[in-house]
Structure 1
Amino acid sequence: MAHDTSSSASPSFTAPSTLLIIGSGVFGLSTAYALTRRPEWQSTQITVLDRAGGSAPSFPENPVFPARDASSIDSSRIIRADYADPAYAALASAAQYAWRQPGPDSIGGEGRYTETGFVLVADDEPPRVRNARGLEVKSGMGFARDAYANALAHARQAGRGDDGDWVQLLDNRAAIAKATTTGAELGDWGYLNRGSGWANAERAMAWLYERVEGTGRVKFVRGTVDKLEIDAGQRKVVGAKLMNGQSMRAELVVVAAGAWTPSLVDLRGQAVATGQVLGYMDITPEEQARLGQAPVLMNLTSGTFLIPPSNNVLKVGLHGYGYQNPKKVTSCLTVPKPTSISAFNDQEQFFPEISVSQPLTHLDDPTLWMPASGERALRKGLRAMVPWPSVADRPFTANRVCWYTDTPTGDFLVAYHPYWSGLFLATGGSGHGFKFLPVLGEHIADSIMGKCTPILKDKWAWKEVTDVERSIVTEDGSRGGQAGLILQTELRKNGPRI
């Protein structure tokens, strides 16, 4: 893991005696690991709390962490520095350096990371378009062109030249079809970055979990949080109450619960849980041999992507606007209205009934199958990316609804809560957090200690929201599909499998 503990913390910072991290996914686990490596935290009792998650072969000794339906647990994730935003491109480039290191002591070693290249394309459209609210936002083409410029800049910095060998422009459909290796005219314009690839997400998380556990500094607790516990008079979060009635107290609470975070802390207007569809199908050894050598493929206009298969299983995904699953909850810690701020004994005022999009996963319903609308989008994307009759119409054998924590801009939310002391948020991955796993914890630790870089501090800051009812749509140019879909409504439309 890449790390830097040389810089000092804010002069006013003192590490808490006890720390509770809620969530053991990318944000939570990487933060725990980073803090164990810092001398300021040597005396801090660190606890990581997460839900029960069933069992899996890669976790024979500990079947819980991360939870089995966390977004970080899957067969594969794209690892790329291909960003329209220079700050994320630079951060991802640093993460890729760590992913590329070989050997058992590297997160990407022993086959956990594979550098196959990445074909990123978009359909013919202006770089900026108007959204449903009439605001001008970046389009898929705009994202692709800006990402190409950043990819070229990083290739030059790495000494990989300007001859197109490392980052190759694909300015027509024929060039794209050749680069995909599947013969797919996937879009109108794009590029091939040979320095990107994919990681086995579950194996990488298992590697990190073993490193955290090996420090002997972190206590892992299995449990489901009912709600945060507060000292209303002090305006302070003091711990978490579990569904079984148990209380867990800590001087500082970090909520890094992914798509479950908005059910614990009121994030209306700035973060929302959205379900994204993934489809899997069995392929033959011959198809594995051909597709296994292909680059990662993604069309930013449609949002569909394909990661090279492993073990004769092909995965197709949709990086889209997602499905929301609104439910009434009374578990969400809010900020009281000025008229009731003095009624500190009435704790119910801090947990009013509000509507929150909540994840629905295969652990809630083992029979859950993605909405037909999502399956149609995956099928269309598959036919565009692998135009082989033997594969294009083959039924999906498995599926998953993967839950993002989306923000309007796609920026993470890594900051102290502005009202409740003792509460720090590390969430808002917006479907692109996993690739930063080798470096993210260090930056979150910096943020906790008051020494985050100014550019990341600004991007990851708590946002003041004037309209909590406004539907969140991530409009950074990387999404496709239809916005505003409700999961339960779409599930009721499901007909015969495609």
Structure 2
Amino acid sequence: MAGGLGTQSRILILGGGTWGCSTALHLARRGYKNVTVLDAHPIPSPISAGNDVNKIVEQGCFTDGDDEAAVAQTLLHAANEGWQKDPVFQPYYHDTGYIVAGSSPKAIERLVDREVRHQASSFRKLTTAEDFKGTMPTGVLTGDFPGWEGYYKPSGAGWVHARKALVSAYNEAKRLGVNFITGSPEGKVKSLLLEDGDVRGAITADGVEHRADRTILAMGANAPQLLDFENQLRPTAWTLAHIPMTEEETRLYKNLPVLFNIEKGFFMEPDEDKHELKLCDEHPGYCNWVDQPGSALPQSVPVAKHEVPASAERRMRDFLREIMPHLADRPFTFARMCWCADTRNRAFLITYHPKHPSLVVASGDSGHGFMHIPSIGGFIVDCMENKLQPNFAKSWRWRPETTRDFWGRDVLDRFGAGNKMLDVNETREEGWTNVNATPLTVA
């Protein structure tokens, strides 16, 4: 093994979410025998972004041929190989196709440039309400689609059942011998264990020292609570809700293509277990800005909520009124703020820490980290073993020189909600959703 590591080396993973479980699985598959994962919650954690009924999966790279594009293309290829061939993940991938759309000239231009132009023959253009309705069974799309323009790709993309894939990775890693310590206080990481300028493991809330030869920090949006990222990460939240469906509707909506308007929101087929349809309103993201002692720059701090701001609910219902008005007034049975960790250029941050030689940082999913769960752990282990390809190491490097100024209001090429970043603190006056968990009964 590289860097003095061997299969008996003690590897400690902080965080049992998407990237933590993927890394644990890949370490075990490479023969590491002494791997421990710490998480404050049982897996799947209620605050993990990966604990979700579905996520979009794409199968194309839509940028021109620079180094970043090459990294993106390799990542997508590796992820899709996993979704299609790895028995741990393959059962949860649904190749249903997808529809990408916009409602303003700027957004439409962006999606054509980024998603359609490089594979135009795979897409069919949609310009009328009837065009959109024709992509799904009769009775699903009933709206007028005002001002919409879209593109339909019938295969080569789709969605995955996120929670089941995450649990599958966890179960397989555990079967292969990974030790998971979860729950509070025994799994809750209180601090890094610092000795002689290096990270030698972590200390949990029960006071136990978990020593390791390598520590991998994979705590998503919560990672900055343990380590100074020098303004490289911005915890950012998106909003989602579920509405109840009948058994008949659940059957009708099965195997639908994903529909994603990059200014309005998206939906996929209902959850077959609970008969609920997940909705997301589209926007650049919410931050929760908190002043930090000794720092001139505020920091966004995740706040776990199983609610969404009232304005997010309005956006979701407006989205429904444009595409499926017959569902627009149904009660929410579930709602959630889903936190991720942005980097300024949305490239991952997977690298050894420059000041702590035994600490591997695995963060910066930037809202597109889950689809890589089949393979991202392999890249993280490559980093740990000093085997990353040079273009990956450059893209994912520790790069505080790019974030000296405040970039918290940057929308990062995202649309919706006035095309501006949103602030959790500004939602207090408008209020939050009132989730009604009563099952739907329809005659």
Asked if TM exceeds 0.5, the reply is yes
Distance change (3 Å), C-alpha of 1:457 and 1:13? farther
Contact 1:20 1:252 in 2 (8 A): yes
Report deviation, 1:257. Answer: 0.4
Task: Tell me which residue corresponds to 2:66.
Answer: none
Match of 2:134 among 144, 158, 178: 178
Match of 2:12 among 7, 14, 20: 20
Contact 1:123 1:141 in 2 (8 A): no
One-letter amino acid of the structure 2 residue matched with residue 281 of structure 1 = I
What is the count of residue pairs matched by the alignment?
416
Report deviation, 1:92. Answer: 2.1
Contact 2:39 2:182 in 1 (8 A): yes
Distance change (3 Å), C-alpha of 1:466 and 1:455? closer
Report deviation, 1:191. Answer: 3.4
Task: Tell me which residue corresponds to 2:84.
Answer: 100
* Matches of 1:495 and 1:437, distance apart in 2: 32
| Unaligned 5+ runs, structure 1 | 1-8, 53-63, 127-138, 153-163, 331-348, 363-367
1:426 aligns with 2:362: yes
* Matches of 1:313 and 1:200, distance apart in 2: 13
* Matches of 1:26 and 1:168, distance apart in 2: 31
1:356 aligns with 2:293: no
Report deviation, 1:383. Answer: 2.2
1:325 aligns with 2:288: yes
Secondary structure of the corresponding residue to residue 134 of structure 2: helix
Secondary structure of the corresponding residue to residue 173 of structure 2: helix
Contact 1:143 1:476 in 2 (8 A): no
Secondary structure of the corresponding residue to residue 313 of structure 2: helix
**1:423-445 CA distances to partner (integer Å, 9 max, x unpaired)?**
11111111211111111111111
Distance change (3 Å), C-alpha of 1:172 and 1:465? same
Q: What RMSD, in angstroms, separates the aligned Cα atoms of the two structures?
A: 2.8
Report deviation, 1:120. Answer: 1.2
Structure 1 stretches of 4+ moved >6 Å: none
Task: Tell me which residue corresponds to 2:261.
Answer: 299
Report deviation, 1:221. Answer: 4.7
One-letter amino acid of the structure 2 residue matched with residue 318 of structure 1 = D
One-letter amino acid of the structure 1 residue matched with residue 232 of structure 2 = Q
1:46 aligns with 2:35: yes
Q: TM-score, normalised by structure 1?
A: 0.76
* Matches of 1:17 and 1:485, distance apart in 2: 44
Match of 1:491 among 408, 428, 436: 428
Q: How does 1:175-254 map to 2 (within 5 A)?
A: 175-179=131-135, 182=141, 185=145, 187-222=148-183, 223-231=187-195, 234-254=196-216
Report deviation, 1:254. Answer: 0.7
* Matches of 2:242 and 2:214, distance apart in 1: 40
Q: How does 1:267-278 map to 2 (within 5 A)?
A: 267-278=229-240
Distance change (3 Å), C-alpha of 1:92 and 1:282? same
* Matches of 1:456 and 1:180, distance apart in 2: 39
Distance change (3 Å), C-alpha of 1:92 and 1:495? closer
Distance change (3 Å), C-alpha of 1:197 and 1:269? same
Contact 1:225 1:243 in 2 (8 A): yes
Contact 2:379 2:388 in 1 (8 A): yes
Deviates more, 1:458-467 or 1:437-446: 458-467
1:452 aligns with 2:420: no
1:397 aligns with 2:361: no
Contact 1:22 1:253 in 2 (8 A): yes
Q: TM-score, normalised by structure 2?
A: 0.84
* Matches of 2:360 and 2:57, distance apart in 1: 27
Secondary structure of the corresponding residue to residue 250 of structure 2: helix
Report deviation, 1:495. Answer: 6.8
One-letter amino acid of the structure 2 residue matched with residue 483 of structure 1 = K
One-letter amino acid of the structure 2 residue matched with residue 99 of structure 1 = W
* Matches of 2:223 and 2:260, distance apart in 1: 28
Task: Tell me which residue corresponds to 2:28.
Answer: 36
Distance change (3 Å), C-alpha of 1:24 and 1:295? same
One-letter amino acid of the structure 2 residue matched with residue 480 of structure 1 = G
Report deviation, 1:489. Answer: 2.5
